[in-house]
């Protein structure tokens, strides 16, 4: 069964002359163990796709199914729970909390989601893989863009989600770090049966992907 499925999804913003069709009849499926790239120019609808797929916003029409459940039909409480338990986000703006150190970002996750997070050994390994072990006492403002990006990836993965949705997760990374992060995403998918969906402009990530989709004017085409 597909872990994530979108059927005939449309998302419109605004009304009348100001209406924008950001997602135009999207059909999409991702299975466990897969790394999927979503590519395409600015304004194509990539971030909209990710936020609708992750139930941060509802589609105007069509179905979004996570583990076979249509998220339009579940209550707001269930929807919150689904996001908390199953879905990890790395948003375009990293969304680290500015007044918390890196270590405290994980503590925040622990307060909100009390069980099912990585254990200490697994977190330690993750921080080492991302090269941020020595940065845990720092505040986001003291980190470079690439370090913030890796901290945001670590925070999303710490909650051990079934589905990881990441918006431009390598935008600030140099080639070496892109390879580390690409390999990490691939290992997560293969070794832990996760679904990893990455919005990216970065052709360096293509070698880690099972499938690649191109978005253009709200439409999605499968390339691989
Ligand atoms: N909250 C919003 N209200 C109105 N229009 C929006 C909103 N968010 C996005 N749009 C419009 O929807 C379209 C798709 O935007 P989206 O952010 O999904 O593009 P994107 O592919 O992520 O672009 P980028 O690569 O620049 O991040 C654009 O035309 C955008 O202007
Ligand atoms: Mg975007």
Span from the CA of 208 to the centroid of ligand 2 (angstroms):
21
Residues 40-82 have pLDDT tens digits of 999 999 999 999 999 999 999 999 999 999 988 888 899 889 9
Contact, 196 vs 34, CB < 8 A? yes
Q: What is the pLDDT of residue 165?
A: 97
Please calculate the CA angle 86-35-151 and round it to the nearest 5 degrees: 65
CA angle 187, 192, 198 (to 5 degrees): 55
- Mean pLDDT for all residues in the chain: 94
Q: Which ligand is nearest to the CA of 40?
A: 1
Q: Does the beta carbon of 13 lie inside 6 Å of ligand 1?
A: yes
Mean pLDDT (whole number) for 89-109 = 92
Instruction: Classify burial at 17, counting beta carbons within 10 Å of its beta carbon; exposed 0-12, middle 13-18, buried 19 or more.
Output: exposed
Closest ligand 1 atom, residue 215 Cα: 21
Quick one: pLDDT at residue 155? Answer: 96
| Residue 1: pLDDT over 80 | no
CB atoms near residue 21 (< 10 Å): 16
Q: H helices within 44-194, ranges in order? A: 46-53, 76-86, 102-112, 120-129, 145-158, 175-192
Q: Among 9, 14, 18, 20, which is best to mutate for testing ligand 1, by the most ligand atoms less than 8 A from CB? A: 20
User: 33-58+73-222 adopts what CATH topology?
Assistant: Rossmann fold (3.40.50)
Q: Tally Cβ neighbours within 10 Å of residue 42.
A: 7
SS3 state at 146: helix
Q: What whole-number percentage of the chain has pLDDT above 90?
A: 88
pLDDT at residue 63, as a whole number: 97
Q: Are 188 and 196 in contact (CB under 8 A)?
A: yes
Q: Report DSSP state, residue 131.
A: T
pLDDT reported for residue 219: 98
> Is any ligand 1 atom within 6 A of the Cβ of residue 93?
no
**Using one digit for the tens of pLDDT, what is the confidence trace for 121-173?**
999 999 999 999 999 999 999 999 999 999 999 999 999 999 999 999 998 89
* 210, 177 contact by CB (below 8 A): no
Q: Given a cut of 90, is residue 17 above it in pLDDT?
A: yes
91-113 burial, b at 16+ Cβ within 10 Å, e below that, comes to beebebeeeebbeebbeebeeeb
Q: Which atom of ligand 1 is nearest to the CA of 47?
A: 22
């Amino acid at each position: 069964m597909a872990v994530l499925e979108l059927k005939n999804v449309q998302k419109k913003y605004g009304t009348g002359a100001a209406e924008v069709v950001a997602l135009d009849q999207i059909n999409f499926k991702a299975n466990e163990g897969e790394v999927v790239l979503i590519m395409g120019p600015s304004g194509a609808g990539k971030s909209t796709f990710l936020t609708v797929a992750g139930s941060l916003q509802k589609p105007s029409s069509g179905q979004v199914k996570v583990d076979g459940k249509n998220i339009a039909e579940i209550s707001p409480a269930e929807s919150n729970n689904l996001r908390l338990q199953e879905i990890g986000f790395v948003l375009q703006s990293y969304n680290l909390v500015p007044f918390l150190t890196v270590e405290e970002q994980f503590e925040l996750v622990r307060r909100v989601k009390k069980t099912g997070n990585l254990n200490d050994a697994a977190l330690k390994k993750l921080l080492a893989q991302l090269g941020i072990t020595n940065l845990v006492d720092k505040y986001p403002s003291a980190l470079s863009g690439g370090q913030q990006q890796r901290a945001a990836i670590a925070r999303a993965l710490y909650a051990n989600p079934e589905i990881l949705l990441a918006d431009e997760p390598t935008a600030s990374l140099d080639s070496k770090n892109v390879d580390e992060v690409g390999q990490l995403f691939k290992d997560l998918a293969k070794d832990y049966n996760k679904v990893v969906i990455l919005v990216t402009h970065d052709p360096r990530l293509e070698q880690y992907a099972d499938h690649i989709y191109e978005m253009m004017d709200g439409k999605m085409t499968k390339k691989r």
